Chain A
Amino acid sequence: MTVDNHIGTPPAKRRLSPWLAGMFLCLALVVVASASLASGYLDIGVADIAGLFRSKAIGSPVLLDEAAAVTIWEVRLPRILTALVCGAALALSGAVFQGLLLNPLADPYTLGVSSGAAFGASGTVILGLLFPGAALFAEPWAMTLGAFAAASLTLAAVILLAQDADRRLSPTNLILAGVILSAILSAAISFVKYLAGDQVESIVFWLLGSFQARTWADAGVIIVFFIPALFVSLWSAVDLNIMTMGARAAETLGVNTKRVRLSLLAAVSLAAAAAVSVSGVIGFVGLIVPHLVRILAGPDHRSLLPLSALGGALLLSLADMAVRSWLPGEIPVGVLTALLAGPAFLVIFRKRMAGRDNG
């Protein structure tokens, strides 16, 4: 039995240095974001964009013409930033969920966050139909707010349902509670779609996931939830390493598993809920990015978590640039990621299984 044949779990000496991987990802992210900023319907040169940034920074008058400046500053920049931070949040929470639930198939949606958000968003559309007079439901941010509220409530319900008599949270119970609630919510969403009638299109489009017409407010929402999630999960990275050996082992090593699990669940789930509520349902980013990072740079969460966040940011900004500039007719980005990352995940999964069998 040689380890070198064991696909998916290379020996330590063949792992990439986390610093090298991090620098590469940062560089790639800067390149993609700049390219994305310069591409689109209006042809605006990189030099002009740099000029705009410089004049915004030092407060000098903007030399670029009005339409181009607005396109960059109010359309492309918030959209790119939203996509980037959403990708980072989804991949970070995927990595944390996989470690916490001891399940490589876990992702931000395992605990019902996406179903909750989808139900909240579609519920907002219905409320708008039921109360045509209420301005609240017509606001552009109403769907975001509804999605976020419902996602957070779903998560709280999952945690409450999964607690056993000793108020402990086992990974299995969490996954089961998440699956059950997701199933109920999916049925509720179908019912809401049926109720929506002609309005069903806006619900379906939201569910597909897109960064079209995202504003600075959307970018703000996801950034506000992503930053604390990043800090909380880095704070617990060492304990998370130990908790992958099971809660019992972790407790005999002095880890307060209950506190770590609850704080991590809360922080990354809220970040995932925020991501879903500003972008809709974008699948597979939270699943595949941590897997790839683990294969390339090892399972240590101290490097896995920041590298996953960078990888997720890169993947989603690339995907959004593709649907925005290269592909015809603005395919929803959630469709693209599912179509590309789904089969890729299948390949990794099959290779891992092959590795297990003869390893």
Chain B
Amino acid sequence: MDERQSTGPRLSVRDVRFKHGPQLVLDSVTLDFAPGRHYAVLGPNGAGKSTLLDLLSRLARPASGSILVEGRNISEYTPGGLARLVSLAPQECRLDFPFTIREVARMGRRPYLGRWGCLDVEDERAVERAIAGLHLGSIADKPVTALSGGERRRAVVARTVAQDAPIMLLDEPTSGLDVAQALSVMALMKRFAGEGRLVVTVSHDLDLAAAFCHEAVFLKAGRVAAAGPIGECFTPDILAAVYDAEAAVRPDPFLGGLSASFRPRKAENGS
């Protein structure tokens, strides 16, 4: 991984532990994320996927270990400095006030703006690009309080895209989206990775991840179960161990990735 030629920022997680109260949520997690790659963070519920994104965006601080952004410890950055490097589309976002989609996307420009929040031509261009990328152009002046669940989801992703950070973290960006929207969001993220950004997507959809991501990180019970290029770690053995079910993996020439299917484990030895 270290030989890869690239100029963008990289992200490293070094032996990180994180506790939520008495409960250990992440334990001895060591990972390297390289620019130009689209990573899928996968695993069962409660494996620590969202917590990992919280740590990478400094919403939470590790109990021990360190997180390096471009070689510098994440805690050394100013809030604005970090926001220009790392963006996050959280899974939950409050949209209780009747701002329009365009206004929400404009908020993504906050790290570049002055006290009064005036956008220049370049800011407006980034906002319009984000709105177009998420296919929200026709409803950009609708208040977000009047949107459907999928539209709200895309509005939040549009805000993250407008932030235009070289490192993008997305927590289940396709949940609640219909098939066409989910495909277009994942394709957009893959394109961003192609432009040299580092994109990390938490997902529950293995087939979408296999088709649109370059690398996979499997978490289970707070530990890294497997990490590496999709082709190497999408194996029946790894999937079976991570998801506690019998697994089969077939190439999927139609979508251009792999297709995983599962069935319940047969009862073993009287258990």
* Interface, chain A (partner B; CB < 8 A): 1, 3, 6, 8-13, 99, 102, 104, 235, 237-239, 241-242, 244-246, 248-249, 251-256, 294, 298-300, 302, 359
Contacts of B81 in A (CB 8 A): 254
Contacts of A299 in B (CB 8 A): 97-99
Contacts of A254 in B (CB 8 A): 78-84, 110-111
**What is the CB-to-nearest-CB distance from B72 to chain A, in angstroms, rounded to a whole number?**
17
Contacts of B94 in A (CB 8 A): 102, 244-246, 249
Taking CB atoms and an 8 Å cut-off, the chain B residues in 56-90 that contact chain A are: 57-59, 78-84, 86-88, 90
Q: A248-B59, A251-B79 are in contact. Are A241 and B107 (CB under 8 A)?
A: yes
In the bound assembly, the distance between CA atoms of A99 and B94 in angstroms comes to 12
22 of the cross-chain contacts (CB-CB < 8 Å) are A1-B146, A3-B143, A3-B146, A11-B141, A13-B141, A99-B97, A104-B96, A238-B113, A241-B99, A241-B103, A244-B96, A246-B92, A246-B93, A249-B90, A251-B59, A252-B57, A252-B86, A252-B88, A253-B108, A253-B110, A254-B83, A359-B145
CB pair B79 A300 closer than 8 Å: no
Contacts of A248 in B (CB 8 A): 59, 90
In the bound assembly, the distance between CA atoms of A314 and B103 in angstroms comes to 29
Q: Is B254 among interface residues, defined by CB-CB distance under 8 A? A: no
Most A Cβ at <10 Å: residue of B80, B81, B107, B115: B107
In the bound assembly, the distance between CA atoms of A11 and B148 in angstroms comes to 15
In the bound assembly, the distance between CA atoms of A13 and B102 in angstroms comes to 12
CB pair A242 B110 closer than 8 Å: yes
The residue from A6, A8, A238, A249 contacting B117, defined by CB atoms under 8 A apart? A238
CB pair B96 A238 closer than 8 Å: no
CB-nearest residue of chain A to B160: A252
Contacts of A249 in B (CB 8 A): 90, 93-94, 156
Q: A11-B143, A359-B146 are in contact. Are A252 and B87 (CB under 8 A)?
A: yes
**What is the CB-to-nearest-CB distance from B125 to chain A, in angstroms, rounded to a whole number?**
19
CB pair B104 A245 closer than 8 Å: yes
Taking CB atoms and an 8 Å cut-off, the chain B residues in 113-147 that contact chain A are: 113, 115-117, 141-143, 145-146
Contacts of A359 in B (CB 8 A): 145-146
The residue from B90, B107, B117, B141 contacting A12, defined by CB atoms under 8 A apart? B141
The 5 A-B pairs with the shortest beta carbon distances in the complex, nearest first, are A254-B83, A9-B98, A238-B117, A254-B80, A246-B94
Contacts of B95 in A (CB 8 A): 245
Q: A235-B115, A253-B110, A294-B98 are in contact. Are A6 and B146 (CB under 8 A)?
A: yes
Extra contacts besides A8-B98, A254-B82, A298-B99 (17): CB < 8 Å: A9-B98, A9-B145, A11-B100, A11-B142, A12-B103, A238-B115, A241-B103, A241-B117, A242-B107, A249-B90, A251-B58, A251-B59, A252-B87, A252-B88, A254-B84, A255-B110, A299-B99
Q: Is B201 among interface residues, defined by CB-CB distance under 8 A? A: no
**What is the CB-to-nearest-CB distance from A303 to chain B, in angstroms, rounded to a whole number?**
12
In the bound assembly, the distance between CA atoms of A255 and B107 in angstroms comes to 11
CB-nearest residue of chain B to A165: B21
Contacts of B87 in A (CB 8 A): 252
Contacts of B113 in A (CB 8 A): 238
Contacts of A235 in B (CB 8 A): 115
**What is the CB-to-nearest-CB distance from B197 to chain A, in angstroms, rounded to a whole number?**
16
Q: Is B203 among interface residues, defined by CB-CB distance under 8 A? A: no
Contacts of B110 in A (CB 8 A): 238-239, 242, 253-255
Contacts of B92 in A (CB 8 A): 246
Q: Is B163 among interface residues, defined by CB-CB distance under 8 A? A: yes
**What is the CB-to-nearest-CB distance from B95 to chain A, in angstroms, rounded to a whole number?**
7
Contacts of B96 in A (CB 8 A): 102, 104, 244
CB pair A244 B142 closer than 8 Å: no
Contacts of A251 in B (CB 8 A): 58-59, 79
In the bound assembly, the distance between CA atoms of A332 and B172 in angstroms comes to 55
CB-nearest residue of chain A to B163: A253
CB pair B99 A300 closer than 8 Å: yes
In the bound assembly, the distance between CA atoms of A189 and B47 in angstroms comes to 52
The residue from A12, A102, A253 contacting B100, defined by CB atoms under 8 A apart? A12
**What is the CB-to-nearest-CB distance from A59 to chain B, in angstroms, rounded to a whole number?**
40
CB-nearest residue of chain A to B96: A102
Most B Cβ at <10 Å: residue of A1, A99, A246: A246
In the bound assembly, the distance between CA atoms of A231 and B104 in angstroms comes to 24
Q: A3-B142, A9-B143, A254-B83 are in contact. Are A298 and B98 (CB under 8 A)?
A: yes
Contacts of A8 in B (CB 8 A): 98
CB pair B104 A252 closer than 8 Å: no
CB-nearest residue of chain B to A242: B107
CB-nearest residue of chain A to B81: A254
**What is the CB-to-nearest-CB distance from B151 to chain A, in angstroms, rounded to a whole number?**
10
Contacts of A13 in B (CB 8 A): 141
CB-nearest residue of chain B to A252: B88
In the bound assembly, the distance between CA atoms of A245 and B163 in angstroms comes to 15
In the bound assembly, the distance between CA atoms of A10 and B143 in angstroms comes to 7
In the bound assembly, the distance between CA atoms of A8 and B93 in angstroms comes to 21
In the bound assembly, the distance between CA atoms of A249 and B87 in angstroms comes to 10
**What is the CB-to-nearest-CB distance from A12 to chain B, in angstroms, rounded to a whole number?**
5
In the bound assembly, the distance between CA atoms of A299 and B141 in angstroms comes to 13
In the bound assembly, the distance between CA atoms of A104 and B145 in angstroms comes to 13
Most B Cβ at <10 Å: residue of A235, A245, A302: A245
In the bound assembly, the distance between CA atoms of A253 and B146 in angstroms comes to 24
In the bound assembly, the distance between CA atoms of A237 and B113 in angstroms comes to 13
CB-nearest residue of chain A to B143: A9
In the bound assembly, the distance between CA atoms of A251 and B116 in angstroms comes to 18
